[in-house]
Amino acid sequence: SQQGEEDPQALSIQEGENATMNCSYKTSINNLQWYRQNSGRGLVHLILIRSNEREKHSGRLRVTLDTSKKSSSLLITASRAADTASYFCATDATQGGSEKLVFGKGTKLTVNP
Amino acid sequence: DVKVTQSSRYLVKRTGEKVFLECVQDMDHENMFWYRQDPGLGLRLIYFSYDVKMKEKGDIPEGYSVSREKKERFSLILESASTNQTSMYLCASSPVGIIGPRVNSPLHFGNGTRLTVT
């Protein structure tokens, strides 16, 4: 089934640096979403970008979408220790006429103080 | 704020037991989902529902069933728990999309139930 795949699997940076995570997917989509998960908790929605959008911002977050390359990136600027979490992309997919959201395996980001 | 509540944070059950995982959302969302999360495998969709009494199989429905008798409640049932069902279970809800596909709205997740089957 269609799935977003994040890259890298793990990323370790210093506080204040920027963090970039990438997501690739296999088939056409209507939208792509990014989520954050703190250890042992549920996922929290960050940004939804539609297939006709190329870039979206939310605070220190910037998401880009390139449908020709079937890829998206999440940039966190001026990272903080509190940004330490796993980040997932999710794409919509149709299965047997039903729509669902399929998640990648995530990028584990560690921001060192 | 949308609240998705999963009845238990931690659960320990024995092999062969019937297990019920409950999920309740308070925002009148039409869509509800059950995922399981395992290290190295990410989130995998077990079942989902777009309306009361509706259910659809996800990618890994074997060994599970669901119940959606009321709009706000979506229950995951392990008919006969096995050790390979030890996992983190995440429930989510979302409103139906106004335009286009149903899943073009953000999902709201509960905090998860960590189930151990011994």
Provide the residue type at B114 as one letter. Answer: R
Contact: A104, B110; criterion CB under 8 Å = no
Q: Give the whole-angstrom CA distance, residue A82 versus residue A111.
A: 8
Mean pLDDT for B72-78 is 97
Tokens describing residue A82:
């509190």
Residue B41 pLDDT exceeds 60: yes
> Which of A44, A99, A105 lies closest to B42 in CB terms?
A105
A42 interaction partners in chain B (CB closer than 8 Å)? 4, 90, 92, 109-112
| Residue B47 contacts A where some CB pair is shorter than 8 Å | no
- How many whole angstroms from its chain centre is CA A76? 11
Mean pLDDT for chain B overall: 91
Indicate whether B69 pLDDT > 50. yes
Provide the token pair at A55. 């870039």
* Residue A3 or residue B75, greater confidence: B75
How many CB atoms neighbour CB A15 within 10 A?
A: 14
**B69 with B88: CB under 8 angstroms?**
no
Mean pLDDT value across residues B103-112: 88
Looking at B33-37, B46-50, B99-103, B110-114, which range is the least confident one? Answer: B99-103
Question: Which amino acid belongs to residue A113?
Answer: P
What is the structure's pLDDT at A1?
A: 44
**Contacts with B, A 21-40, CB within 8 Å:** 30-31, 33, 35, 40
